C-alpha cells in the first residue's frame, strides 16, 4: 500500500535542499525546545537495549546520541532523503562510531534485521501513513519492545496559539532571509499541523497492530507530543 502522493509531495517541497542547515533550524524553529523534547524521547528508551531503529533519522541527531549512549547496542537510522543521510554518516564517521548504520528508504517500508528492542522517531508521524507505519513497527519489534514517536502538534490553547503563530511570523520575516531554503516550511507548517490528527491516529493504529500501554503526552503548551506504546508479549491477546 503506497503512501498518498500528497504526503510525499509535502516532504519534497518542505525539505529539498535543507540538509546543510537542518541542525540549526530545528533549534531556531523551536526556540531551543527541540533539545528538551529529544531528551524526553531518549529517557523513554528501555534499559540495556541491544537493537534500536531510529525512523526518519534526518541528519542523525537522535541516532548518533543513541549510539553514543548505548555503545553495545546496534543502531540503524532510516531516512527518506539521501541528502540528509550524507550528513548523518559524516557525523558517525567523525565520532568513530562503529555501532551505527544508516538505510535509505521510507520508514513505512524498511524492515531491518531484528528483533528490535525500541523504535524511535522525531518529526515523522505527521507525514507518515500511520497504519502501515504501525504494522512495520510491529514486524520489527520483539514482544515487549517499545515505540517512541515525537512530533509537533497544533496548540489548542488560544492564548498560547496566538504567541506560537506570532513566532512563525517572525520566522517568515527573519528566517526566510537567513535561511531561504526553509521558506516553504515557515509559510506552510502551521496550517499543515492544524489539519493533522497524528496523535490520535497513531495511537489507534498501534492498538490495532498488537500494542498496549499506548500513551500520549502533550509537551510545551501543546506544541509537541510524545506517543509511546509497547508490543504485546502475547500478540494473540
236 lies in some domain:
no
Distance CA 110, CA 96 (A): 25
| Cα of 22 vs its chain's centroid, Å | 14
For residue 236, give the H/E element and its range: none
pLDDT of residue 174: 86
Residues 225-236: pLDDT tens digits? 999 999 998 655
> Which structural domain range is residue 69 located in?
5-231
**Residues of the chain whose pLDDT is less than 70?**
1-5, 234-237
Under a CB-based contact definition with an 8 Å cutoff, are residues 120 and 41 in contact?
yes
Question: How much is the pLDDT for 176?
Answer: 80
Cα separation, 43 vs 49, in Å, equals 13
Query: pTM for this one?
Result: 0.94
Number of domains in the chain: 1
Quickly tell me which residue has 491477546 as its cell.
Answer: 237
pLDDT at position 175 is: 83
pLDDT at residue 237, as a whole number: 52
Residue 59 in domain: yes
Domain annotation covers residue 237? no
Tell me how crowded residue 204 is: count the other CB atoms within 10 A of its CB.
15
Domain containing 28 — which CATH number? 3.40.50.150
DSSP 75: E
pLDDT tens digits for 147-174?
Answer: 999 999 999 999 999 999 999 999 999 8
Amino acid at each position: 500500500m503506497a503512501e498518498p502522493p500528497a504526503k510525499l509531495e509535502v516532504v519534497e517541497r518542505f525539505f529539498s535542499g535543507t540538509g546543510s542547515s537542518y541542525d540549526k533550524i530545528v533549534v531556531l524553529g523551536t526556540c531551543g525546545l527541540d533539545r528538551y523534547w529529544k531528551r524526553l524521547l531518549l529517557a523513554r528508551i528501555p534499559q540495556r537495549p541491544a537493537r534500536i531503529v531510529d525512523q526518519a533519522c534526518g541528519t542523525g541527531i537522535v541516532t548518533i546520541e543513541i549510539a553514543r549512549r548505548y555503545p553495545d547496542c546496534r543502531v540503524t537510522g532510516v531516512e527518506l532523503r539521501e541528502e540528509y543521510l550524507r550528513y548523518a554518516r559524516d557525523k558517525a564517521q567523525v565520532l568513530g562510531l562503529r555501532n551505527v548504520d544508516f538505510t535509505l528508504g521510507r520508514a513505512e517500508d524498511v524492515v531491518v534485521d531484528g528483533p528490535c528492542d525500541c523504535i524511535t522517531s522525531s518529526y515523522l508521524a505527521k507525514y507518515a501513513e500511520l497504519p502501515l507505519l504501525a504494522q512495520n513497527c510491529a514486524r520489527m519489534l520483539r514482544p515487549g519492545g517499545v515505540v517512541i514517536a515525537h512530533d509537533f502538534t497544533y496548540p489548542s490553547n488560544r492564548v498560547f496559539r496566538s504567541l506560537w503563530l506570532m513566532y512563525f511570523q517572525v520566522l517568515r520575516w527573519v528566517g526566510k532571509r537567513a535561511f531561504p531554503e526553509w521558506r516553504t516550511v515557515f509559510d506552510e507548517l502551521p496550517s499543515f499541523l492544524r489539519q493533522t490528527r497524528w496523535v490520535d491516529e497513531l495511537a489507534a493504529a498501534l492498538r490495532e497492530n498488537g500494542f498496549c500501554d499506548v500513551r500520549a503526552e502533550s509537551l510545551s503548551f501543546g506544541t509537541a507530543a510524545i506517543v509511546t506504546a509497547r508490543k504485546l508479549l502475547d500478540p494473540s491477546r
